[in-house]
Chains A and B, each alone.
Chain A
Amino acid sequence: MRTALLIARKDLRQRFRDRSALIYGILAPLGLAFIFSFVFNPIQNTTFEVEYVVVDEDAGPISVAFGQALGALEDNLGATVRQVDSVQKAEEQVETGSDAFAGEDEEQADAAFLLPAGLSDDVMSGQGGEMTVIGGAGSELGTQIAYSVAEGFAAELGAVEVAVKTAVSFETAPDPETVGLLTEQAAATKNPVTLEDISAATKQLSATTYMAAGMAVFFLFFTVSFGVSGLLEEKRIGTMHRLLAAPISRRSIVIGKALTSFALGIVSMTILVVATTILLDADWGDPLGVAMLVVAAVFSAMGILAIVAATAKTQDQAGNFQAIVSLVLAFLGGTFFSIAQVGGLITTLSLFTPHAWFLRGLGDLQGGEVSSVLPAVAALLAFGLVTGAIAWPFLLRAVDR
C-alpha cells in the first residue's frame, strides 16, 4: 500500500503541475455550468404572467368545479382569471393579447375558456359536454397551459359521469336530481384539476443544480481517466520499465493509478459542489447524501474507465475511447437534458449509466431523507464493482504488455 500511495502522490503532483486535471476537473465543468446557468436561469426566474378569461354561460355545478380548478391555477402559477360576459369579448381580448402593438390599458388575455349554456345539464344527463379553449396566436405557452387545464378537467368529468351512471344503473331510471347531487359531490370531493409546486417536494433539481451536477459528472469521467490511463502514460514515457525493475509488485502499480483516479475525482467533484453552491446558488442537497453519491460516482467512473484503459494499446487510443464512452454515457444518462422528458427506450437505457443514477440520487435527495440516495449509491457502487472486477486482470496484464 505504501508503494501505491507513493505512485499516487507522484501522479497527483504531475497532474496538478501539467494543469490537465485542473482544466478537465474544475475549470471546464465550472465554466459550462456557468454558461448553462446563465442560459437557463432567465427562463427559470422570469415571473410567469398569464391572463385567462372565462365565459360562463353554463352557471351550473360543472362551471363551479371548473372555477375551482382555475383557482388552483391562480394560486400556484400566478395566473389571472377574469370572467367576461360574452364570447365576442373573450375573442377580442385574446386577439388583443396577441397584438404586439396593443395598448397597456386595453384588456387582453392569453386564452379564453368557453363553458356553453347547458354544459352541466348535458354532463349530468350523460350526453357529455363540450368546452372550448380559444388560444392566442402570440401566447403559445399560455394557450398550451389552458388547453392542458381544460383537458385534465374533461378527463375528471368523464370519471364523474361513469361513476354516476354506475351508481344509478340499479334503479329503473336515472333521477336527474340524484345525478346532479352525485355530480356536485364528486366535484366537491376532489378538485378536478390539481396544480402543485413540484420543484421542491417531489425529486426535482433546479435548472442550475441540474446543470452543475450534469457537468460535474460528465467531466468526472475525463478527470478520472487521468489516473487509470496513467498506466499507458508510464509506458509512453518509458518509466514503466523502471517501475517493473523496481522491487514492487505489479498490483501496487495498478492500485496506485486507481488511487490517483479516486483522489482526482473526489477533489474535482468536491470543488465543483462547493463552487456551484457559492457561485451559482446550486442546491445539491444534504452534504452527507451528496458525499455518498460523489464517492459512489467516482468509484463507478473508475471501473468503467479502467476497462477502457486496460483494452487500449496506446494513451491516444485510450483517450479516444474514453471520450466516446464518456459522451455516450453522458447523453444516455441525461447530463445535458432531462431523460424523464424523453421517455421510452432512452429512459430504460439511462438506467445503464452512472450519470443517470447520480442525477437521480440527487433528485431523490431533494425530496427525501439522506437514506433516499441509497438505491442510487448502491447502483453506482455496483457499476464500479462489476466493471472494476472485469478490468482488474486486464490491467495487470496491461502492465506487462
Chain B
Amino acid sequence: MEGQGNGLVLECRGLRKAFGDLQAVDGVGFSIAEGETYGLLGPNGAGKTTSISMICGLLQRDAGDVFVDGKPLTTRSVGAKSAVGYVPQDLAIYPDLTARENLAFFGRLYGLSGNELKTRVDEVLEIIGLADRKNDKSDEFSGGMKRRLNIGIGLLHGPHLLVLDEPTVGVDPQSRNAILESVEHLSTEGMAVLYTTHYMEEAERLCDRVGIIDHGKIVAEGNRRELVELVGQRDRIRLRASGDLEGAAAAVAGLPGVLEAAAREDGLDLIVECAADTLTEILGGVTQAGATVSSVDVDEPNLEAVFLHLTGRALRD
C-alpha cells in the first residue's frame, strides 16, 4: 500500500495494537501536513504513547499503515525513519556523555558526519540553550536542561516530522515554557509536529488540530473551535456595568454573532459564537446604549470541557 503523496508529512490509518486482552490502540488514524502541529490529547493510559510508538517504528503494530513523506514506515524501515525525529516521554540521554557527545552520537546514527554533523550539533546546542554547557556530562544537568537536550537530540538531523511524547511532564514552569516556545518556533519553520499531552493548555496553545484519544480510539478531531462547536459549547461574556442595562442588552442582542444577551443586577450576560470576533462591537453597543462597563470577563469553552463532554471524565482522571 502506498501513501497518497498529497503533501502530507504523516499519514496513519487504522492503527491497532493489543497487549494480551487489552486493546491499547483501536483504529487510530490521522494525518499531519507540513508546518502543522497536531496534538494527541488524552488522559494517561489512553493510547497516546502506544500510538506514537507504532508511528515511529518502535513497536510492531497489529494492523494499520503509517506513511512518512509518502514512504511506508515499519519497525524495519530505514528511509522513512530518517525523516522522523522522536522525543520520548522519559529522558533518553547517556548520563556519562557530554551534551555534545550525546548529540553527535545520535547524529551519526542518522547519517550525519564531518562538518555537517559539527554544524548541526552547534546549531542545536544554541537552540536548546546548552551551548555554554556542551562539554559537561549530562548527569550534571538540571532536570530542565536534560529535557532540552532530550528534545535537541530529536531535532538534530532536521526531521520533517517531529514526534514529542509528553515532553513537559515533570518539568519546571520556566523550562516548560521554553519547550513550548521551541515547538511553536519549529512549526513556523515548516516542520510537522506530532505532540502528545494530557495538558489541555498545551494542546490549545500549540496545536493547529487536536485529536482527542480515549481508550485507544480518537473520539473527536479538529481545531479548538471545531471541537467546541462539535459539542455545542459557546463563548460566554460577562460585563460588569451600570446605567441602562436593559437598554444595553436590547442593543447588543441584535449584533451579528451574539446569540443571547440578558441584563442582570450589576451587568450583562452574553452568549456569543466567538468572543474575540464580537467583543469590540459589543462594548461599543453597550456604551452607545448609555451603560458604563467597568470590567469584562470572557469564558471560552476549552478542550477540558470538550473532553469531559465526549468521554464523561476529566483529562487528569
Contacts and interface: CB of A to CB of B under 8 A. Distances in A.
Interface in B44-81: 53, 56-58, 60, 75-79, 81
A243 B77 CA distance: 13
B103 to A, nearest CB: 12
Nearest to B85: A245
Contact of B96 (A14, A243, A400): A14
B153 A245 contact: no
Contacts of B79: 247
A248 B78 contact: yes
A10 B60 CA distance: 27
Could you say which interface size class chain B belongs to? 20 to 34
B109 A248 contact: yes
A313 interface: no
Contact of A245 (B58, B95, B101): B58
B30 interface: no
For the residues of B in contact with A, the DSSP-based class is loop
B167 to A, nearest CB: 13
B253 interface: no
A347 interface: no
A297 B240 CA distance: 85
A17 interface: yes
B93 A239 contact: yes
Interface string A8-31: 001001100110000000000000
Contact of B109 (A18, A243, A400): A243
Contacts, number: 68
Interface residues of A, number: 20
A241 B86 contact: yes
A103 interface: no
Contacts of B108: 6
Interface string B270-314: 000000000000000000000000000000000000000000000
Interface of B: 53, 56-58, 60, 75-79, 81-82, 84, 86, 88, 90-97, 101, 105-106, 108-111, 153
Interface of A: 3, 6, 10, 13-14, 17-18, 237-239, 241-249, 400
17 contacts: A3-B109, A10-B101, A17-B97, A237-B91, A237-B92, A241-B88, A242-B88, A243-B109, A244-B57, A245-B86, A246-B106, A246-B109, A247-B78, A247-B82, A247-B110, A247-B111, A248-B109
